[in-house]
Structure 1
């Protein structure tokens, strides 16, 4: 029996420029769960999370596919994704991540996962992490060809052509988040931040429905958009506001009168947290311009915190795009 274990994944640092640097390769940035999959020679399979957790029981479909199709003593790095209605559905991954046994099996049938492989770290007795990216990539491509790997296995695209990489940014409608850049001669450093990542962002508008802390000194803003029936729906929360933004909001916010659509609603401090955020409801008549990325949950909310850019005194709430639309 092999004694090796799954390493921690190599990480990336954010960059603001989507241009592919010379002597680097680009890959699409997927809206999923970063995962390492290991299959031992004795048949044992582990689906590991970015933080070292064990997701094997939550994704029995992927574990079973590893037993059927992968050779022994192998480690793949990649992304777990779920497709729904033609786009990546991160919310379905969240719903699957903490299930076990019968519940996990039902979820696998309802929302089958795919594994997008973008690196090969071990093959047989060979530890490939010391090899350059270009060498590991060739080995990964040979693995897919030799084993004729089909869904749920997907080979992540890779290119050194800047035009092709730029073209992948058009996939945002399917939930693609951006690009990851990897130097061709770079070794794989577990838990090291040697890659680069560019996340697509755009500016749009939203209405402020509440703020954390107080209206005179707001810390974050809770954003809403009206749906087609005229109901104010919660769309997301900003990062911590800058001092100028706090002053600008404090001058325009009005405490909510009775009948606010979010009356009685609670908001958590962070996703997955049971701690409740202290908020103050305000009249939904202040429009702000925000910078957001393309990760939109199936519920219609922005999945990541957004950055408030400025107050739009020239716009009315009815000018804001409807709930569930990125623009």
Structure 2
């Protein structure tokens, strides 16, 4: 873990399923749906007598990036007992009403420009954008010194709702939707409003740390995105002669990084930066998107993959290619 304290545990993650499963009658009975937001996953941690600290899923300390959130979380989270809150850091560009519930729309590019910077630059960029990072709250694994990981999701959510003060400017409780017969319709509406997708959680699910996808939580996204490890580059041709061409990427395994594919889509400025110092980009975590996965093997291949961004909040060891696996659990 990067800069992570010894006690740090990564947050619970989702397995990936496909849009068509949302319309399967009876499949999602006993599940609850929430909007899936495109930002930086975060755990807010407060030990008794201490100030709140914020950590990415890889254990990177973001506390100094968002001092306004630290102040708001200190005002809400108990000061005399341990507490952990799970959520997403993001700049909210808009909100809309859906069934009487307010749904946030996040600005991924601005969020990454803030959270991918050093602390001082992150604070400056929030001023530049005229918007501060918001903490969209998902779950509450610990509260008032009580371990809630062994409680059902619905019970943890009740604790969260009862404890949460809704007047905070940059704390946002993620809305929930409970009619499984309309999950497909819900997903389509969210995507139409530029929300990344949907999360579906078993109402009886326990909270499991350690950052591994769990078969009681599922996600569906409009475009399939995956975090991969940069393995190399092809040489450019034509207008890119003398520069890099495509970026090659792979998934992490116990035996090393296994090649998955290659992508383009980088800006000319980024392409030049990578061309000038290729070696420094090898091994970095890169987010890739694709509209379709192909193949019948255990791990499918992304069709026409495109570069999205580099991720500073994740480690190569976390890039297991779970999004590419054949969907057996859902």
Instruction: State the secondary structure of the residue aligned to 1:44.
Output: coil
What number of residue pairs does the alignment pair up?
A: 234
SS, match of residue 92 in structure 1: helix
Partner of 1:26: 33
Change (3 A) 1:75 1:161: same
Answering whether residue 58 of structure 2 is matched by residue 39 of structure 1, we say: no
Q: Name the structure 1 match of 2:304.
A: 308
Q: Hey, what's the Cα distance between the residues in 1 that align with 2:148 and 2:196?
A: 28
Q: State TM-score, norm by structure 2.
A: 0.60
Please report the TM-score for the alignment, with normalisation by the length of structure 1.
0.60
What is the CA–CA distance in structure 2 between the aligned matches of 1:62 and 1:92, rounded to whole Å? 17
Q: What is residue 112 of structure 1 aligned with on the other side?
A: 132
Q: Secondary structure at the match of 2:63?
A: coil
Quickly say closer, same or farther: Cα 1:92–1:274, change in 2 above 3 A: farther
Bigger Rg, which one? 1
Q: 1:14: which partner in 2?
A: 16
CA deviation map 1:156-211 (0-9, x unaligned): 11222125533243232543111111111111110232121111139xxxxxxxx9
The CA deviation string for residues 219-241 of structure 1, in whole angstroms up to 9 with x for no partner, is: x968xxxxxxxxxxxxxxxx726
For the 8 Å contact 1:56–1:63, the answer to whether it is kept is yes
Counterpart of 1:57 in 2: which secondary structure? helix
CA contact (8 A) 1:59 1:108 kept: no
Q: Does 1:75 align with 2:84?
A: yes
Distance 1:114 1:265, change over 3 A: closer
1:181 and 1:5 mapped to 2: Cα distance?
Answer: 29
Query: Where has structure 1 moved over 4 Å in runs of 4 or more?
Result: 3-6, 98-102, 261-265
Q: 1:101 to 1:267 in 2, by over 3 A?
A: closer
- For structure 2, the 5+ residue unaligned runs are 96-104, 225-232, 238-244, 248-259, 283-289, 294-300, 306-330
Structure with greater proportional helix content: 2
Aligned to 1:207: none
Q: Deviations over 1:247-284 (max 9, x none)?
A: xxxxxxxxxxxxxx969952749xx98438xxxxxxxx
* Unpaired segments ≥5 residues, structure 1: 203-210, 223-238, 243-260, 277-289, 294-304, 310-327
Does residue 138 (structure 1) correspond to residue 145 (structure 2)? The answer is no
Checking the alignment, whether the CA contact within 8 Å between 2:39 and 2:112 is kept in structure 1 is no
Is residue 154 of structure 2 the alignment partner of residue 148 of structure 1? Answer: no
Q: Distance in 1 between matches of 2:118 and 2:75?
A: 21
Q: Does 1:197 align with 2:216?
A: no
Q: Distance in 1 between matches of 2:269 and 2:171?
A: 46
Higher deviation after alignment, 112-121 or 57-66? 57-66
Counterpart among 93, 97, 102 of residue 84 in structure 1: 93
- Supply the RMSD in Å over aligned alpha carbons: 3.8
